Structure 1
Amino acid sequence: MVLRAQGLACGRGGVVLAEALNFVVASGRCLLLRGPNGAGKSTLLLTLAGIVSPLAGGSVLEGTDEDAGPQLHYCGHRNALKPRLSVLENLDFWAALNGPTGMAAPDALDRVGLGHIAGLDAGYLSAGQGRRLALARLLVSVRPLWLLDEPTAALDVEGHALVTELIDAHLDRGGLVVAATHDPITLPDLTRMQTLAMGRAR
């Protein structure tokens, strides 16, 4: 499976934030988007997800089964949690919405370190715990392409290590990751990583 972008330009509100982007991300590899605030990293992820239309060029995920359903997860900088539902109920909701094709929700919560508060209302979570719950959505529904916007935001040192472990395991399974981040993400195998430096803030 390969994610390929050619001549891709993206922006919002009529403002071009990035243009003439060409890159290829193959199975088992991670592309890090680096650049200052306003350089278009988040907009590029939204464009790759199909949420924002490209201004020019395009991207395609090659080697997919057309009958397999949605092929990507988009995890934005907002956690999209329902505060009056419990931690487990939030994750069950997302598993039902996206398809329960991965880990069982309790197991996914254990994996991200939230199993002990599964019954707590999500409105009581700290910012870091909320981010861990958002990441758990990646585990309960299997999709090959992960588009991650600041996945380590609000996380402590252990949380940063968790993100690295989740990405590494996903790549082991042949998945692809495109992540916009200001924080360093260093995988055990550096050959799995590539970087796209995006332009100046506008």
Structure 2
Amino acid sequence: MAGEEAKPAAMAVVVAMKGHPGSGKSTVARAIAAALCCPLLDKDDVRDCTLPLERAGGLAVGMLNEISYAVLWRMAERQVQLGLSVVVDSPLSRRAHLEALIRLPAALVIVVECRPGNEEEWRRRLEERGAAVAEGSGDGWHKPKTWAELERLRDGYQGCTEYEFGDVPRIVVDTTDLTVDSEAIAVRVVQFIRSVLACGH
């Protein structure tokens, strides 16, 4: 899909990715942004840039994370003000994060939740990425590098990642299904967006 054919409508759509680290969000987000020919805003791109601040000390890790989200929401707002649809790649781990996007004026928020069905494949991908970061060949120094780190992160969430979406349209995709690639998932998501818009959202 390319050009005008891929664009679902003139209304700005905020495609909000959701899912734990290593779940395949970023790969799918890139494919969706390419299919829609729209900007991709990645929270990790912002967070990666805070490494000098973290090394300097003085700011709590949680504060740097929240600053990263604040920058992400502001960039999304700017794109929507320009009438552009946008893909926002973040864990969307708290309801407050979703509400920040819902508050954007003149935009339809659609959640794409990446929920791995194959835990073994999920673990393999996460630890493969973690090894690359440890060797210095990848960004994401702040992400879990082992399955044990991911489990600690999930325990730390204390269930807050499972929340009600209300009337926000949501599609759940299995990013560990090896028979379906990210481009095929993007096609499904674009079709879902079109169906939501056709229903008058």
TM-score range, shorter chain: 0.3 to 0.5
TM-score (normalizing by structure 2): 0.42
* Structure holding more helix per residue: 2
More strand by share: 1
